[in-house]
Structure 1
Amino acid sequence: MFKCFFMFIFKIFFVLFFYSCSLFGEEFNFKKVKFYGLNYFSHEEILNKIFDNTNFYKCNDDVFFKKLIDLNIFNKVEVFWNNKEIKVFCVEKPIIKKVVLHVDSDKEYVLSLLNRFEIYRGCLYDGNNISFFKNNLFQFYAYSGFNIPNMDLVVNFNKDLNSVDLIIKLDKRFLQKIKNIDIIGVSVFDKDKIISSLSYSNSNWMSFFLKDDLFFPDLVENDVDNLKAYYFDRGYSDFHIDFIRVFFSKEKNNFNVLLSVCEGELYHIDSINIHGDKVILQKDNLEDEFNSVIFSYLKIGNVFSRELLMEVKSKLKDFLMRNVFLNHDIDFSIFYAGESRVGINFSIIKSLKTRVGYISFFGNFLTCDSVLRRMLPFTEGSILALDDVEFSKNEIIRSGIADSVNIEYVKNPDDYLETDIFYIIDEQKFGKVTAGLSYSNDDGFSINLNTELSNFLGIGSDIALDINSNGVETDFIFSYFIPYFSDETFGIGYNLYYRSDLFDQDADYINTLYETFGAYLYYSWDLNKFEKFNFGVGCDMTFLGMYDESSSIEIKKFIEQNGFDFKDYFFNIVWNYNSFDKFSYSSSGFYHNVIFRFNMPGSKIKCYTFNYDFNYYYNFYDDYIINVTSSLYYGSVYSGDDDFPFFRNFHMKGNTNVRGFKERMLGPKDSNDESIGGNLLFCAKFSLHVPTFLPEELKDIRTSLFFDIGNVYDTSLYVNEGLKNKLFNYFYSLKFSFGISFVWSTPFGMPLEIALAYPFNSDDEESKNIIAISFG
C-alpha cells in the first residue's frame, strides 16, 4: 500500500516538473551531459561545481557554457547540443607536476608568494598567476633597497601527461648603494653641507653602520622638498631644481646621482608693516610689546627666511592668546620691494568668533536646567560656534524633552566680545504612547504597544515599555535609562525582558517552544557627538517545552545532553557610531553597531556571540542616494565538545534581510527538514534611492532599486574542512535577490513598505516571497 502511494506521488511530481519546463522554455530542461578529454577531473566533480549535486539544471545553454568557462580549468572547450544530451569536448589546463627553485636568498618569501598565487605541485598552470608572482616579487625588491635581480623561469610542457615542470632561477640580489652624489649650480653654500642634509649621502666608512648610502625610491621626493627648504629658509626664494639624473654602474649595484639647481638671488628684508585691528593693542598699551616680538626675530636689512617668518607668526599668536584676544588671528603676506628686496606685512585679523556669555533657558517647566546644560557641547566663556549651537538644539529635540527649540542671540552691551544665548523651549508635557496593528506577509498580523516616558520627573531619565506579538513570537521589554548619571557623558540603565518563540510545525519552524526571562544592567559613555560606548552584565533564564517524539533529532539530542532549563550570566560590550544627517530618510552618514556578548562562569551554556551592523548613505548626485547595509552575526561555544544552543541561533527575517525569500526559510534544516537557523549570519543590501518625480505632497515616498545577498550557516558542518573549502561553501550557498521597493512614511508615524523582489537561486525547499508587504 505504501509503495503504491509513493509511486503515485512520484509520478505526480514528474508531471508537474515537465509541465513547468514547457512553460519556461529551455531554462529547466533535464539533459544528459558527457565530457570527452578529462584527465584530472571527473565528470561528477565538474557537475557538482556547476549544479551543486543535482541533475535538474536550472540554466539555459548559454549559461551552462559560461559556467564551464568560469571554472577556469580548461584551455579549450567545445559544446555540442541536441535534444537529449550535451557533448563537451575539452582540453584541461596542464597540472603543475614539479617546481624547482634555484634561489640563494629570500627563499621563504619566494615560497610564500608561490603558495599565495597557487603555483605549486598539483595546481593548475595559469600564466596570469605567473605574471602576478613576478610583479609582486619585483616590487618587494624595489621597495626594500635591493636591485631587481634577473629571473629565468623555464616552463617544460609534457604533452602526453598534460603537465608542466617549472624551473625558477633567481640571481643573487644585493643592496643598491649610492656611490656618489653631485650637485651642479651650487656657488653660495658648501656643497658637502647641502648633501649632508639629504636623506642620502656618499658612501663612507660610517655607511656600513648608518645605512645612509642605500637607495630607496620613496625618499627621492622627500629629498627634493628638503633641498628646496634649505634654500628658502636662507633667503633664496627663487630657487628651483632643473633636473635629476641617475647613472648606474655596469654591475648595477652602485650608481651616481647628479642634480642641477638654480639658486637665484638672495633676498633681504626691506620693510616690516603691521596692519589690521591694532585698536585692541592700543587699548591695553600692548603695542610696544607686540612689536618687540616681531623685531626681536626680524630686522630690516637681514636675509629673508621663510622658516623664521613662520616662527614669528607662531610667537605672535601665542602673545594674543595670553592676553585673551581669543577672537583674533595673525596672518602675513610677502611683496616684492625692488631688486633683491622683499617687504613683509603682518595683519591682525578679527574673526567673526565671539565668546559665549550667559546661557539661559525659558519654557522648561518640567525639566531642570542642569539636564539641558548637559546636552550643550560648550559652556560660558567658550568660543561661540554656530555648529555647536545647532547640534545642541537637535540634541534637545531628539531627547524627547521638547517638540521645538528656538534660539536667540543677544550681544552683551558691556563687552562686545560676548554674546548671550537664550533657548526658548516648547516642552513636551506628556510621554509617547503608540498602539497599533501591523502586517507583513511573513508574520501576518502583529500587535504593537509602545510606551515612552522621556525626561521622567524632569531629571532627563527615560522609561520605555515595548510589547510585540504575532502569534508565533512575543516580546516584552521594560527599560529605564539615566543618560547623565554623573556627568555629561556617563549614563546608566537597565532592561527587563521576556521572550517566547513558538516554532510551529505548520509555519515550517522547528516544533518546540522556549521562553526566556532576563535582566540587564549597563553603563553608557558618550565618546563624542557620534560615538557611544557601553558595557553591562545580565542574567537569562530559558525554559524549553513541548518536547515530544515528533521533535527533531537535533532538539532531542540537545535536551538529553543539557536539560530543559538554562541560566546564563553574560557580559556585554557595545560600541555605536551614528553620523546620519536625519533620523529618517537619511541621505548621508555612517552607522556602526558592534555587540560582544560573553557568557560568564556559572552559566549552564558556555557560549559567546558577536553582532555587527553597518549602514552607509551617500548622496552622489541630486536626489540619487546610494545605501549600503550589512550584518554579520556569529555565535560559538568555548569548548569544542559543546553544541551551540539552537534557541540562540540566528534566522533570516525575510523582508528585513534578503528580500524575495520567506521568513526563516534560509539556512540549515533539522532532521524534520524544518528551519533551525545557524550560528553564522551574513547579509548585505545594496540600494539606489531614486527620485519619485511625484508632486510635493507625495515626497514622503522613497523609491529604491536593491540587490540583496546573504544566508545563515551552521559552521559545525564544515569544522573538518580547510579555510579555502569553507569559504567556497559559504560563498556558493549565498542567496541573491534584486527588485524595487517603495517606502511611505504614513501620517500614523509607521512606515509602509512594498517590495517586489526576485530571488536568483532559491532551492526547492525554500519558499519564494515575490511581493513583500510590511506596515509598522
Structure 2
Amino acid sequence: MRKILAIILGLMLSGPALALEPFTISDIRVEGLQRVSEGTVFNYLPLDAGDTLNTSGMQSAIRELYRTGFFDSIDFLREGDILVIRIQERPSIANISLEGNKAIKEDDLRRVLADIGLAEGEVFDPQALDRIQQELVAQYYSQGRYAVSVDTRTTNLDRNRIRIAIVVDEGKTAKIRHINVTGNTLFTDEEIRTEFESGIPPFWKFWAKDDDYTREKLSGDLEKVRSYYQDRGYIDANVESTQVSISPDKRNIYITANVTEGELFHINEIQVTGDLVVDEATLRRLIVTEEGAVFSRKNMEQSVDNITALLSNIGYAFANVNPIPQIDRDNLTVDINYYVDPGKRVYIRRIVFEGNVGTKDEVLRREMRQMEGAWFSQAAIDRSKVRLQRLSYFDTVELETPPVPGTDDQVDVVVSVVERPAGSFSVGLGYSEIQGLIYSLSIQQDNFLGSGNRVGAAVSSSDIISSFNFTYENPYWTDEGVSRGFYVRYSEYDRGAANISTYTSSEAAAGMNFGAPLTEIDYVRAGVGVRSTDINIGRFVFDSEIPDPEDPDDTICFPDLNENDICFESYYVPIDGDPLSNSLDHNGDGVLSADEREFDVYDLTLSWSRDSRNHFLNPTMGSVQRLSLEASGPGSSREYYKLFYRYAKYIPLTRNGLTFSFHGDVGYGDAYDDYDNTSLATVQDTELPDGAQCLQEEVIGLDTGLPFFEHFYGGGVRDIRGFDDNTLGPKDPFCRAVGGDFKVSGGVELAVPTPFTQGSGSRIALFIDVGNVYENVDAFDADLLRASAGLSVTWQAPVGPIIMNFAVPLIEKDGDRTESIQFSFGSTF
C-alpha cells in the first residue's frame, strides 16, 4: 500500500511540471542518490536522451523504478528540456538482532531472513518484515506454541540506515490433555492409538514430549488411524473430521477424531503386469498379499518394496512398481494389479571417494561391494556403506548415486567420508571394584600411514595386574581379505587380589594370527603362539609361622569373609592352602618341593564368528555367534583345550529403541595329556572347618582337568551381575574361588530408550542373569545355578565408558559374595 501511495504521489507531484505538453529529453539528471549508483538507475529507466516524454511514458518509467524496491519516493521534474529525477532511497539494514528464539535456531532464522531480503547491508523492505512476522507466528503455531508473540521494531540511524529488532516470546508448548476417538466400534481407542506419537505419557516418563502438540504430529497420527483400519481390510475407513480445542490460556489441547469404519474387504485376484524383466513366478513369490485374504495396505506396500528391491539389485535403479487396486464395493472385494515399470538397466560408471585426506583410496575401495562397470545393486551399495562404517577411522560415511549427465543408464557412486584421528597417544585412567584404579599409557594407530593397518603399544597397571603389549594387524594381507597379525605381550597378575585362590603369575607371550571372511557376516580366525607362565604359590595370611606338618598341635589361621582371622588346630593342608597345587610338581610325601613353577605352552587358536548386528556398541537388531577353540600344542608343559560358545539375539520391539535381547554362553575345557594325579596331596578332612561358611557341594579337594591358571571364573560387572568378580563356582576348603573346567551362563535384557541421549551409544537395560562355574561337566547341577536381576546403565561419557549395575540376587547360596551396586569406568585424555 505504501508503494502504491508513493507512485500516486509521485505522479501527482510530477504531473503539473510535465502535463502541459510532451517534450524531447536533451539530458537526464538524477538527484538524491546515496548508495545506489546512477548506472543502476539508468539500467532500470526505460528512457534516454533524445526520447520524447509524455504522460504515459512518465508513468511507465516511475513504475519501473519503484519496481526495483530501492526507493521510497520518486519525482520527475523538468528544467527546460532536461529531465530531473529526484529520488529518496530506502534505508539500508545496518543490523538485525534476534531475541527469545529458542525453538527455532538463530542460524536457520537468519537464513530465512536473508532469503526474503532481510540481511545486513540489504535495502530495507517493510513488506518483507511484515511477511517474516506473520511467517514466524505461523511456524510457532505449527509447533503448538499458541501463546507466541513476535514483535518487530525498527530504529532509524544516521546515513539513511535502519536497525531491525525481532523480539520473540515463544510461550509454552500447548499440552495434549485428552485424545478422544469417536465412531469406532471395531477397535478400542487404546488399540487405535497404539502407534500415535501424540499422547499423554505415564508419570514416570517425565522426560517424554508425547503430550507436546504440533500440527504435523497430529496430521501424522490421523494418517495412522486410516492406516490402522486399511491394514486390517477396512479400505473406506477415514477420519471424517477433527476438532482441536484450546483452552483460554492457550496451554491445553483437547482433540477429538471422528472415524467412519466402513466394510471389511477381501482380496479377490492378484495380477502382475508390465515389463516383466524377471519371470512372473519369481515376482509372485515376493508378494505377501494372498487371494482370499483380508486386504492389507501394509502388505500391499511391502510387496511393492520387495519387488522394487529385487529389481534394484539387478541393475534397475529407477524401477517403479505401481499397485492398482480395483475395488468392488458390491461384493466387498479388491483386485490388485502390480504394474511393473523397470525403466532402463543402470550400471556404475565410476566410484569416487571424497574426504579421505589421509586414507588411501584403496583402503576404501576394498570395502566396496559395488564394483565399477557392474550393474547397479542397492544391496551392494547398502552393504558397502555398512562395511565402511565399521572402520574405526571414519566419523561419518555417506553414499550418493548421481546420474551421469547426458545418459539415462549410468550413475556414479560418490562416497563421502569424514575422517577421525586414527592415531592416538593416550593416558588412561579407569576404575573397577576388582582392580581398583587402572592406569594405562598407549600409542594406537588404526590407520597406519593411511594403509588401514593397525599398530599399537600399551602398558597398564592396576592393583591386580600390570601388562605390556604390542600388536600389529594387516586386515588385507591378501586381496581376498585374509588378515595377518602379530602380538607380543607381558603381564604380571595377582590372582589372590582378584578373588582367585592365592597365587601370582607372570606371563610372556608372542604369536601370529590369520583371519579370513567366509561370507559378509561370517569370519574365521586361526593363530599360533608361544607362552611362558611362571606360577608363584602364594600363602594365606598367618598369625604365626607356617605349621609343621608333623606337629598336629600346631595352629594355622586364615582370613574369613569379613577379613577376620579364623584359626584351626590339627588341620593340615598343603602349604599353598588350596587344591590347585595338583598342576605343580610334587615329591612323594605330598609336600611342595618349591613355591614357583614355569609352564611353557604352545598356543593354538581357532574361532568362527557370525555377526549380523546393526551396531557394535548398542545393537537393536541382529544376532552374534562366536565359537572358539584354544589348545596347547604337543610338547607344552601341560596339554589341554578350551571351547567357548556364545550366542546373542537382539529383537526390536519399537522403532524408538526398545529392544529385547537374550544370550547364552558355554565354556568347557579339559586336559588331554596323561598327567597323573594319583600321588598328589589332598585335603585330609573333606568337611569344612568351623567358621568357613560356603556351600559344601562346591568345595573341591583335588583339582583335575584344566591347569588352574586356565580355569573359567564367574561373577562380576560384565558377567553374572550382582555377584562379586570371580567368586562363583568351585571353592577351596576355605571358601576361596578356584574356578573350574565348565561354565554356563545366560540372560535376558530389555533395553529401554535413554532419555536425553538418543544416538550416543548409551543404554539402560533391565536384566536377569543366570549361571555358574563347575569343577567339570559331571559336576553340573541346576540346583547350584545362581541368578540375579536388576538395572544396568551404560553411558558412553566424554571420560570413557561407564557401566553401573544395580542388582538383586534371585538365587544365592551360603558363602556367596554379593554386591548390590557394581560399576567400572575408563577414560582417555
TM-score normalised over the length of structure 2: 0.49
- 1:627 deviates by 1.7
| CA 612–276 in structure 1, closer or farther in 2 if over 3 Å, else same | closer
- In terms of fraction of residues, the more helix-rich structure is 1
Of 438, 449, 462, the residue aligned with 2:454 is 462
For the pair shown, which has the larger CA radius of gyration, 1 or 2?
2
**Where does residue 395 of structure 1 map in the other structure?**
387
Whole-Å separation in 2 of the counterparts to 1:480 and 1:456:
10
Q: CA RMSD in A?
A: 3.7
Q: What is the 5 A alignment of 1:736-755?
A: 736-748=787-799, 750-755=800-805
Say if 1:325 and 1:609 are closer, same or farther in 2 by CA, change over 3 A.
closer
Correspondence for 1:185: none
Is 1:768 aligned to residue 818 of structure 2?
A: yes
Query: Does the alignment pair 1:670 with 2:737?
Result: no
Match among 513, 528, 540 for residue 519 of structure 2: 528
| Residues 538, 570 of structure 1: 8 Å contact kept | yes
2:362 matches 1:370 = yes
1:476 to 1:277, Cα distance in 2 relative to 1, 3 A: same
- What are the equivalent positions in structure 2 for 1:9-28 lying under 5 Å apart? none
Match of residue 290 from structure 1: none
SS in 1 for 2:383: helix
SS at match of 1:372: helix
Please say if residues 598 and 608 of structure 1, whose CA atoms lie closer than 8 Å, have aligned partners that are also in contact: yes
Shift of the alpha carbon at 1:734? 0.6
Letter in 2 for 1:714: E
In the aligned structure 1, how far is the partner of 2:802 from the partner of 2:737? Answer: 28
Instruction: Rate the CA distance shift 1:399–1:698 in 2: closer, same or farther, 3 A.
Output: closer
Question: Residue 539 of structure 1 aligns to which amino acid in structure 2?
Answer: V
Distance 1:663 1:639, change over 3 A: same
CA contact (8 A) 2:666 2:745 kept: yes
Measured against aligned partners, the alpha-carbon deviations of 1:728-763 in whole angstroms (never above 9, x if no partner) come to xx2111111111222222123x22222211113323
Which residue of 1 is the match for residue 266 of structure 2? none
> Hey, what does 2:771 align to over in structure 1?
710
Distance in 1, Cα, partners of 2:467 & 2:610: 26
How many residues matched? 440
CA–CA separation in structure 2 for the residues paired with 1:507 and 1:435: 24
Hey, what's the Cα distance between the residues in 2 that align with 1:609 and 1:631?
13
- The structural deviation recorded for 1:275 is 8.9
The answer to whether the aligner puts 1:501 opposite 2:493 as a matched pair is yes
CA contact (8 A) 1:628 1:684 kept: yes
8 A Cα contact 2:344 2:409, kept in partner: no
Distance 1:325 1:421 in 2: 14
Q: Which residue of 1 aligns with 2:745?
A: 683
1:411 is aligned, of 403, 408, 420, to: 403
Aligned 1:442-521 pairs, distance under 5 A: 442-504=434-496, 508-521=499-512
Query: Matches of 1:469 and 1:534 in 2, distance apart?
Result: 29
What is the CA–CA distance in structure 1 between the aligned matches of 2:405 and 2:498, rounded to whole Å?
A: 73
- Distance in 1 between residues matched to 2:318 and 2:666, nearest whole Å: 50
- Write the letter of the residue equivalent to 1:558: S
Contact 1:330–1:346 under 8 Å retained in 2 = no
1:537 paired to 2:528: yes
Taking a change above 3 Å as real, the CA distance of residues 457 and 553 of structure 1, as seen in their structure-2 partners, is same
Contact 2:508 2:533 in 1 (8 A): yes
Q: Is the Cα contact below 8 Å between 1:568 and 1:603 reproduced in 2?
A: yes
Query: Would you say 1:630 and 2:664 are equivalent positions?
Result: yes
Provide closer, same or farther for how the CA distance between residues 653 and 498 of structure 1 changes in structure 2, counting only shifts above 3 A.
farther
CA distance in 2, matches of 1:572, 1:535: 5
Mapped partners of 2:400, 2:315: distance in 1? 25
Q: How does 1:524-673 map to 2 (within 5 A)?
A: 524-546=515-537, 550-561=575-586, 564-622=597-655, 623-639=657-673, 641=675, 643=704, 644-673=706-735
Shift of 1:554: 2.1
C-alpha spacing 1:561/1:349, structure 2 compared with 1 (3 Å):
farther
Q: Which amino acid aligns with 1:657?
A: D
Contact 1:402-1:427 at 8 Å conserved across structures: yes
The equivalent of 2:377 in structure 1 is 385
- Compared CA separation, residues 625 and 425, structure 1 to 2 (3 A): closer
- C-alpha distance after superposition, 1:115-144 (max 9, x if no partner): xxxxxxxxxxxxxxxxxxxxxxxxxxxxxx
> Secondary structure at the residue paired with 2:585?
helix
- Relative to structure 1, the CA distance from residue 649 to residue 391 in structure 2 (aligned partners, 3 Å threshold; closer, same or farther) is same
Query: Partners of 1:413 and 1:457 in 2: how far apart?
Result: 36
Does the aligned pair in 2 maintain the 1:375–1:488 contact within 8 Å? no
Q: Distance in 2 between matches of 1:565 and 1:420?
A: 61
SS in 2 for 1:710: strand
User: Distance in 1 between the 2:315 and 2:751 partners?
Assistant: 49
Cα pair 2:760 2:796 within 8 Å, conserved? no
CA contact (8 A) 2:723 2:817 kept: yes
8 A Cα contact 1:360 1:422, kept in partner: yes
Kindly state the Cα deviation for residue 543 of structure 1 after the two structures are TM-superposed.
Answer: 0.9
Q: Which residue in the other structure is 1:102 paired with? A: none
Q: Alignment partner of 2:472: what SS?
A: strand
CA shift for structure 1 position 553: 4.4
Structure 1 alignment gaps of length 5 or more: 1-273, 281-320, 334-344, 719-725
Partner Cα separation in structure 1 for residue 398 and residue 718 of structure 2: 38
Residue 422 (structure 1) shift: 2.2
Residue 764 of structure 1, CA deviation: 3.0
| In 1, Cα distance between equivalents of 2:722 and 2:492 | 26
- Deviation of the 1:541 alpha carbon: 0.8
In structure 2, what is the equivalent of residue 427 of structure 1? 419
Letter in 1 for 2:584: I
Between the aligned partners of 1:633 and 1:519, the Cα distance in structure 2 is 24
Q: 1:407 is aligned with what amino acid?
A: L
TM-score scaled by structure 1?
0.52
